[in-house]
Structure 1
């Protein structure tokens, strides 16, 4: 015999979109109001709405002709904005630069207003574009703090219809399991089914990538040496940690140098790639907070550095990005990385 479903107790797109999302309290058997379109069901629906009350309508605001406050307004343009502070006070006329190397080099500048606020707007970028925001005072002091304006995330609230959720799924599936067990037992008695099927042993072995979020052009984890956040958990300064720990690398004045490249036209520091961005020759390792680093990939051999066009070696540094509520990483005074959600690239779908 077939197992009959409990249609009235089901939750589907109609019950969620048209009923439970607009009502505050618990609704018993929400699909009951969508199965039959008759006078009795419509009367029961009226009684439900009178009892529960509407979630999205405030009659006092309607009577006063007051527009509701929109928590998540529609985005009319794409912009990156924020505030520059120094010692808790706004920085007026501060120099703010926004640049990115994702899909080609991009850089623009602006100045902060009297309240320390700045804004880059009316420009378009694709999804997964990485930006670096750099700020200085009007006297070129980099010891400032940058706070970007972030849209608050959707608040996760308790499900008002938790009464419909089965804690023990075996109770709701008991009829189905009993019918299935009877069917298989009958098949075994008739010799039409073997009860036991022995499968061959299959072993799946995978090596964990030590730098899964890296922007290494050779491929994440393809480096002469990979240093993980676990290795750095007791480190205070990055320059002190790397000194003497990496063969062939010497630390001088907060910069890393390859010993084999020291005599090639004068000492030149190793190229530092921070979240895919080239930080230039004036960047110091101690500008990065060690606790914000997820992995460091040391590229020394010609095979690994050739794609970067550097004979002086490359340090590919990836910062942590999981569990952050801000959406950006602050790893040094006056500079942050930001990875906003942009437009998806246009896709051509298959057509016969």
Structure 2
């Protein structure tokens, strides 16, 4: 029903009848329906000579990460370039190669929305002197936007045109906020509290146990020196092997120190050295030093790593700092399922809890199945406040008809 009415023109009587079963007469009826109300014109001359039009966009069956790799000089495509895809949140680290056109296609996969994909490309011989370009996702343009209702912000009036607000509903919501977050007005005697303001972490690395955090205020007090010299003075146990590669307490391969720039792991030793040599302290907002190799698994899967995380100041152009062969992208993925909250009263502590239940939405279930007689039942706890509530039931029958009721 939903598919037919959205695709076909005109009134369709009992759309679900065509899909109730696979009987031949229903298929014949569906074919006639498509001929009469789903007709799409086409050029007969082109069809006779098999000059068919192919879709410009392929069916989207799964997520894809695509792009191309070119040379920095000459802008020529790089065949057989090695492209590493790192997905820290999912523990994925895989490699693909570019084709004859210098393009790569990392697929198929399915990951949640807002997942970060880090991509690193090198030439077939391992050179970083290449230009990586990631293809952004394309979406159809919105032909006509829905007009917004006129908003009102005057107390005691509707929030928008033709939308009324139940006063008891709003009062219940305000009371619930007061109970959960405390009263809004509490009169206390004058007191003087002195303490250092607790700063919220600016980076996810500050919470790592044993990490060293150097904030902007401390960096500004440092005399003019290079980033490399500054790190050696603040990172005990750090040294640079052959004055290039950073290590921590020994030159074992597992003791190598990696670099993370603006939450992006730099998976290239040459680029790491370039950043340490060229970054200016005056452009840096914060430096976090991770001395726990296991904690680095979130950014360097499979092996973990010690790392130096550098956060640049806002407004600083990274064109001269970020390597041209690396990139990051967020793709539109699936939404993680979220369960509707329903209170449970299983223990005596839960039953005797003095906190009143002021929920405004008592129950929601998107999958209520009826039995053979067409009956269904649900159970839920009402709120503590004495007030009438409404019930809305919506669904679809086996033969495709929409149902809706409100009481």
Instruction: With the length of structure 2 as denominator, give the TM-score of the two structures.
Output: 0.43
Instruction: With the length of structure 1 as denominator, give the TM-score of the two structures.
Output: 0.49
